[in-house]
């Protein structure tokens, strides 16, 4: 069922996603990554592969020296775990990243994967090959071209559409390691080659989106309680299994927040629950306004869905539809202009990367899915000789989230954006402006930081403390966020939460 749902997404729609998602900050991720590595040489060549037709793909090789032992990692990039494996002097070790359609510029997957590879080059001394996929027909030729390089030890495929190609090519090259981001390649192996499951040279990396969504769901409902709004909202894209995790996590987080407030402020709870304009007065199933738009590319649908939610009294709308966040932002901007607001409420909530900079003061936070860390950790496992051990122990599927550990070592990939994250993405924008000559940031960096800081400080500290408390409870296992994986699961939780 899952694979059929994935196949239902048209190539043209996905291509549109990546084109629209060129918010330039994704490009900035690239420039920041290379800038952080010191002296970086980029060599571009062309590889031509033939399947049923000739496919030409661009391969960019980034060569970065191993860092000096006295060099401290930049505070704006992923810190290196300890101990840090490094490539011996004089030895060439490469990793290859095969993009999904669109290549650099999408921010949520491709750019973050390249960012992780660049940071692995900086910290471990590996070299990076980039294979840009223009169409789905490029997947297998690109994966094969990467595996053919004798110095490549790891090939990374970015995006669930590469699942079939990864399974096929991993079988063809048993002496090379393959990683898929958000893929289900091992499920394909299990279905078609059960005697080889789990394939020892193949690893699917997934994320705990439900937990991150629970955190921003709690944040949204606590804001609704404090500012006296009746609803929170959520705009989703195409209904596929991975989005169920966002949906149910967000709703569950809202419900957790309601119960938390009742426990900590019982008198205020009784008072506010009698106010028809407050979210506390509504039945559990009516608090969260949500809709699947059926698209990841039609920004107008995002605008229309969000506008309707704000008109009904949503204090914040969670973007779970990629570029449709631009439509959500448009709806917020209209309200802000009409009311002369300099900051929210209303707000919206970013997704995948730190989007707080897009409209400072109105993006209250972002649910960050760190694809870059997935690539970084995979490289580390290969260099430490632990890749096959991880495949065996975790049946070929590695999950990164909140408090997640791999072979006893903390390896996380989900978080809510902070001011420190904002600094990192602003710096990326600055580097992009220097190198491209194009305007990236909506206003000067200091002004962005000041507006976001002012907004965050205007929100009562107990709200942020409550979100931190939930994160800690998730981290130590005190609470379990629902993880819907089947239609039956999501049906059950919709009956409970709406």
Give the whole-angstrom CA distance, residue 74 versus residue 80.
10
DSSP-assigned letter for residue 55: E
* Count of beta carbons in the 10 Å neighbourhood of residue 153: 19
Task: Please tell me the pTM assigned to this model.
Answer: 0.78
Q: Which long-range contacts (CB under 8 A, 24 or more apart) does 444-450 make?
A: 447/360, 448/357, 448/360, 448/422, 449/419, 449/422, 449/423
Model pLDDT, residue 75 = 32
Model pLDDT, residue 55 = 34
Q: Is 74 helix (H, G, I), strand (E, B) or coil?
A: coil
Model pLDDT, residue 101 = 80
Q: Is the peptide bond before 345 cis (omega within 30 degrees of 0)?
A: yes
Q: Is 493 helix (H, G, I), strand (E, B) or coil?
A: helix
User: In the block, which residue shows the tokens 């917020």?
Assistant: 332
User: In the block, which residue shows the tokens 């490549």?
Assistant: 152
Give the whole-angstrom CA distance, residue 381 versus residue 406.
10
Give the whole-angstrom CA distance, residue 236 versus residue 246.
9
* Count of beta carbons in the 10 Å neighbourhood of residue 126: 27
Give the whole-angstrom CA distance, residue 131 versus residue 112.
15
pLDDT along the chain (498 residues), means of 10: 40 38 37 37 34 34 32 35 69 94 64 88 96 93 98 94 96 98 96 97 97 98 98 95 95 98 98 97 98 92 98 97 90 98 97 90 95 95 97 97 93 94 76 69 92 97 98 95 96 97
DSSP-assigned letter for residue 208: -
Give the whole-angstrom CA distance, residue 241 versus residue 220.
23
Model pLDDT, residue 389 = 97
Give the whole-angstrom CA distance, residue 371 versus residue 472.
22
Give the whole-angstrom CA distance, residue 451 versus residue 336.
15
- Beta carbons of 369 and 108 less than 8 angstroms apart: yes
């Amino acid at each position: 069922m899952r694979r059929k749902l994935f196949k239902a997404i048209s190539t043209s729609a996905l291509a549109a996603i990546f084109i629209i998602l060129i918010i330039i900050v994704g490009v900035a991720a690239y420039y920041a990554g290379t800038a952080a590595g010191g002296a970086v040489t980029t060599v571009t060549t062309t590889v031509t592969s033939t399947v049923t037709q000739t496919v030409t793909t661009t391969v960019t090789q980034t060569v970065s020296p191993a860092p000096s032992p006295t060099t401290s990692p930049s505070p704006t990039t992923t810190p290196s775990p300890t101990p840090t494996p490094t490539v011996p002097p004089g030895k060439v070790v490469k990793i290859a990243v095969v993009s999904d359609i669109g290549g650099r510029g999408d921010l949520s997957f491709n750019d973050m994967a390249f960012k992780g590879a660049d940071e692995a080059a900086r910290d471990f001394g590996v070299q990076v090959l980039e294979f840009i996929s223009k169409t789905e027909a490029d997947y297998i030729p690109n994966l094969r071209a990467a595996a053919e390089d004798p110095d490549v030890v790891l090939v990374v495929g970015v995006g669930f559409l590469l699942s079939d190609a990864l399974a096929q090519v991993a079988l063809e090259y048993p002496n090379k390691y393959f990683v898929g981001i958000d893929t289900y390649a091992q499920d394909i192996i299990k279905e078609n080659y059960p005697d080889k499951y789990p394939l020892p040279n193949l690893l699917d990396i997934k994320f705990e989106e439900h937990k991150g969504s629970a955190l921003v769901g709690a944040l949204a409902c606590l804001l609704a309680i404090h500012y006296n709004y009746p609803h929170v909202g959520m705009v989703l894209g195409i209904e596929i299994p991975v989005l169920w995790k966002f949906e149910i996590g967000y709703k569950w987080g809202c419900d957790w927040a309601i119960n938390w407030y009742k426990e900590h402020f019982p008198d205020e709870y009784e008072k506010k629950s009698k106010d028809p304009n407050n979210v506390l007065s509504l039945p559990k199933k009516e608090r969260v306004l949500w809709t699947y738009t059926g698209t990841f590319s039609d920004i107008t649908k995002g605008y229309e869905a969000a506008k309707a939610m704000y008109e009904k009294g949503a204090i914040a709308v969670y973007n779970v539809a990629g570029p449709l966040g631009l439509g959500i932002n448009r709806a917020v901007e209209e309200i802000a202009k009409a009311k002369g607001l300099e900051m929210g409420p209303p707000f919206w909530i970013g997704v995948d990367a730190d989007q707080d900079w897009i409209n400072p003061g109105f993006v209250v936070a972002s649910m960050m899915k760190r694809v870059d860390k997935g690539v970084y950790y995979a490289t580390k496992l290969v260099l430490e000789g632990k890749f096959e051990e991880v495949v065996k122990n975790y049946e070929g599927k590695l999950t990164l989230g909140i408090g997640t550990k791999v072979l006893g070592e903390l390896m996380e990939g989900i978080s809510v954006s902070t001011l420190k994250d904002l600094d990192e993405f602003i710096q990326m924008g600055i580097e992009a402006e220097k190198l491209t000559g194009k305007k990236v940031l909506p206003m000067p960096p200091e002004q962005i930081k000041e507006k976001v800081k002012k907004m965050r400080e205007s929100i009562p500290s107990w709200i942020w403390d409550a979100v931190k408390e939930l994160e800690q409870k998730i981290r130590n296992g005190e609470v379990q966020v629902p993880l819907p994986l089947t239609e039956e699961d999501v049906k059950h939780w919709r009956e409970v939460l709406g």
